[in-house]
Chains A and B, each alone.
Chain A
Amino acid sequence: MSESLVVPTMAEMLAQGTQPEVLFWVGCAGSFDDRAKKITKAFVRILNRTNVSFAVLGTEESCTGDPAKRAGNEFLFQMQAMMNIEVLNAYEAKKIVTACPHCFNTLKNEYPELGGNYEVIHHTEFLKSLIDDGRLTVEGGQFKGKKITFHDPCYLGRANKVYEAPRDLIQKLDVELVEMKRSKANGLCCGAGGAQMFKDAEPGNKEVNVLRTEDALEVQPDIIAAGCPFCNTMLTDGIKHAHKEGEVKVMDVAELIANAQDL
């Protein structure tokens, strides 16, 4: 990790009179959350290595409004959306990639009606396309032979029916991909969605993330792969709750790919 990251902003690109191939929407978690920042950097290392021309909005990026909308605050959501759309349209953004399924869903499905029309893809789909186009080659590396299970983020899976891209990527690593008893369309939520990440849970007899972590631990994985910074937090907490942090790791698919290539 000695080489420093090259992260151009859209403003810098515009100043040079160029357009990136893709705009990387980092998201709030990817920008500020310590754990999620590692995912952001892993993804950027892959982009740098494969010479993908990309740019971020940097300080011009703002929350997509997803948690506000799911909490019921449509005003705040639409204000965020319209401000972001103004910025994105000013830069003539065409293609957006993001490592957060919540940003992904909101940008892809809820912005078009408000004037923001972009091709929006999740980072696992983007990485898959890099491999398909021969721009990225992946070998198992340190993960060879490991047992990995993938937790479907609700806003990637059920909400947008992206089930295969993250699995295809994991399988490139020469690992044993095992499915939990509930996966894909039947996947159980990690407990963070619908703005739950930002509040205490209602009274009950268990936390949702603990229940989901039990699903994962049942298949005795070495690694639980996630594709969402919030799922990552919830499952990491679940692993701690089960006192398994020594044995089982929670990693984003981008981190798996980056680490396998020793990036």
Chain B
Amino acid sequence: MSYLDNILFAILLVVGFGFFAASVKKIIRNINLGVDVDRKDNPKARWKNMALIALGQSKMVRRPVAGILHILVYVGFVIINIELLEIIIDGLLGTHRIFAPYLGVVYDVLIASFEILAILVIFAVTVFWLRRNFIRLKRFIHSDLTGFPKSDANYILYFETVLMILFLLMNACDLHLQNVPGAVFYKAGTFPVSQFIAPIFNGLSNELVVLLFEAFWWLHIVGILIFMNYLYFSKHLHILLAFPNTYFANLKPEGQFDNLASVTKEVKLMMDPNADPFAAAPVDENAAPSKFGASDVQDLNWVQLLNAYTCTECGRCTSSCPANQTGKKLSPRKIMMDTRDRLTEVGKNIDANKGVFVPDNKTLLNDYITPEELWACTSCNACVEECPVNISPLSIIMDMRRYLVMEQSAAPMSLNAMMTNIENNGAPWQYSQQDRLNWKNEN
């Protein structure tokens, strides 16, 4: 009978981690729907990026207020998770603070730092909440976030606050029970924050405080498991994906756009004086008919899809976008959100149809992202530069423009004129190539 708690706890862990593993598997499957792109080169530079940008948060502090507060939450999240290890072992073995006897003073220091971090996290999260709901910073009240994304952001903040409060209440009960006459719990840890909460339990019976302790303990761990499983449905996956995302991010100069290899092949053939223009195309049974550019998520590469899952909708890209600042429809954040939403939809379609995607008469282009948004981009790279985790909305915009132009001939009229000029006379305007050096003799 006394093992009931432990068994219940083990079941809870298995269910919690089991569901989470299923979600992770789906994410990996969906990311792999993208076309291949080689991002295994130069591992040294990639590890460095990950260490500086994800682990070191170097791009976060470009905006110091949000950056420093974010570091508090991030450090709190990482460090307080050490305590989670003890909680899990205690839960499985039915022990109480199993690490305490082995760590001695180190344990006191650890518990004390968890508590201080917890209160700092509550502070940071409160400021974040105020920035979203009270100060109403422009990027947080932007139309991109209408509906679920707005609630999602607040749910995450509430979750984090509740988890931290439960953690502190749990410690406060513990401290109270360590100090009552005939000490129910043995002395372990120092409690710089919850020592101020503990007195509220004075006068309550020991049995009741033990009950409260257990309630807080269980709610805390159950809360963490729920939060972990909420990630998949929220914008919050960045806490995990920021690491692979910064590792696999583009290392080339931001101005360098990829040259489509399929086009290179065709152009080379076209320019080869020895090529027989009437020869039948070489038959390659395995080659999929090539499509130029992207109209749906399966045409994007897997790094772009990883980008979409990593985006946490902070909106720094959109707030730095010249098109968005001047009232155009384009929002780089929306490009990423749309890509993720469409990818989720395609994933659900595959789940519902036994592992095959059944066309649903929808595409990322038009049903999610309109040509008007795509044509508003100046390719200035401000969004790429701003992203704290090296996401590139620009690469998706360019791939979709390629589809519009090369598959649908759907460029704006004026751009067609520009391209015709380049084809005919080697300049975007209607000047003859023979006049290219005329400036030399003009005054």
Contacts A154-B381, A186-B320; is A74 near B263 (CB within 8 Å)?
Answer: yes
Besides A33-B429, A199-B412, 11 other A-B contacts (C-beta < 8 A): A32-B431, A56-B437, A72-B406, A75-B266, A189-B382, A195-B415, A195-B418, A202-B375, A204-B376, A206-B327, A210-B326
| A3 interfacial by beta-carbon distance below 8 Å | no
What sequence of 0s and 1s flags, for each residue 9-52 of chain B, a beta carbon within 8 Å of any chain A beta carbon? 00000000000000000000000000000000000000000000
| A61 interfacial by beta-carbon distance below 8 Å | yes
Cβ A204 vs Cβ B381 within 8 A: no
A-B contact pairs, 26 of them (CB 8 A): A31-B439, A32-B435, A33-B429, A63-B426, A67-B418, A68-B419, A69-B257, A70-B401, A71-B411, A71-B418, A72-B406, A73-B405, A74-B260, A74-B293, A76-B419, A80-B426, A110-B257, A114-B264, A154-B378, A155-B255, A159-B256, A189-B378, A191-B322, A206-B325, A207-B326, A212-B322
- B300 to chain A minimum Cβ distance, whole angstroms, is 15
| B346 interfacial by beta-carbon distance below 8 Å | no
Q: Which residue of A lies closest to B263 (CB)?
A: A74
Cβ B381 vs Cβ A73 within 8 A: no
Cβ B422 vs Cβ A200 within 8 A: no
CB-defined contacts of A210 to chain B, threshold 8 Å = 326
- A46 to chain B minimum Cβ distance, whole angstroms, is 15
Cβ A208 vs Cβ B422 within 8 A: no
Q: How far is the CA of A5 from the CA of B437 in the complex (A)?
A: 12
Cβ A204 vs Cβ B405 within 8 A: no
Which of B256, B427, B440 meets A110, CB within 8 Å?
B256
**5 smallest beta-carbon distances between A and B, as pairs:** A159-B255, A194-B379, A72-B401, A62-B426, A205-B327
| B323 interfacial by beta-carbon distance below 8 Å | yes
Q: How far is the CA of A1 from the CA of B442 in the complex (A)?
A: 12
Residue picked from B403, B404, B418, B440, most chain A C-beta under 10 Å: B440
Which of B266, B267, B378, B405 meets A194, CB within 8 Å?
B378
Cβ A208 vs Cβ B414 within 8 A: no
| A19 interfacial by beta-carbon distance below 8 Å | no
Cβ B422 vs Cβ A67 within 8 A: yes
Q: How far is the CA of A208 from the CA of B255 in the complex (A)?
A: 20
- A215 to chain B minimum Cβ distance, whole angstroms, is 11
Q: How far is the CA of A76 from the CA of B436 in the complex (A)?
A: 20
| A82 interfacial by beta-carbon distance below 8 Å | yes
Cβ A59 vs Cβ B431 within 8 A: no
Contacts A71-B419, A199-B375; is A26 near B436 (CB within 8 Å)?
Answer: yes
Q: How far is the CA of A185 from the CA of B386 in the complex (A)?
A: 9
Contacts A7-B440, A202-B323; is A113 near B422 (CB within 8 Å)?
Answer: no
CB-defined contacts of B255 to chain A, threshold 8 Å = 105, 109, 154-155, 158-160
Q: Which residue of A lies closest to B401 (CB)?
A: A72
| A41 interfacial by beta-carbon distance below 8 Å | yes
Cβ A204 vs Cβ B322 within 8 A: no
CB-defined contacts of B254 to chain A, threshold 8 Å = 158-160
CB-defined contacts of B330 to chain A, threshold 8 Å = 202
Query: Chain B interface: which size bin?
Result: 35 or more
Q: How far is the CA of A39 from the CA of B307 in the complex (A)?
A: 41
Which of B259, B403, B428, B439 meets A41, CB within 8 Å?
B439
- B139 to chain A minimum Cβ distance, whole angstroms, is 15
Q: Which residue of A lies closest to B376 (CB)?
A: A202
Q: How far is the CA of A68 from the CA of B376 in the complex (A)?
A: 16
**Could you tell me which residues of chain A, from 50 to 105, have a CB within 8 Å of some CB in chain B?**
56, 58-59, 61-63, 65, 67-76, 78-80, 82-83, 105
Cβ B422 vs Cβ A32 within 8 A: no
| B434 interfacial by beta-carbon distance below 8 Å | yes
Cβ A191 vs Cβ B439 within 8 A: no
Q: How far is the CA of A166 from the CA of B173 in the complex (A)?
A: 64
- A74 to chain B minimum Cβ distance, whole angstroms, is 5
- B298 to chain A minimum Cβ distance, whole angstroms, is 19
Contacts A109-B253, A194-B378, A202-B372; is A208 near B323 (CB within 8 Å)?
Answer: yes
Cβ B379 vs Cβ A31 within 8 A: no
Q: Which residue of B lies closest to A56 (CB)?
A: B437
Cβ A80 vs Cβ B422 within 8 A: yes
| A253 interfacial by beta-carbon distance below 8 Å | no
Cβ A31 vs Cβ B378 within 8 A: no
Contacts A75-B266, A194-B378, A206-B327; is A109 near B256 (CB within 8 Å)?
Answer: yes
Residue picked from A72, A188, A192, A199, most chain B C-beta under 10 Å: A72
Which of B259, B405, B438 meets A78, CB within 8 Å?
B259
- A218 to chain B minimum Cβ distance, whole angstroms, is 15
| B90 interfacial by beta-carbon distance below 8 Å | no
CB-defined contacts of A58 to chain B, threshold 8 Å = 436-437
Cβ B382 vs Cβ A188 within 8 A: yes
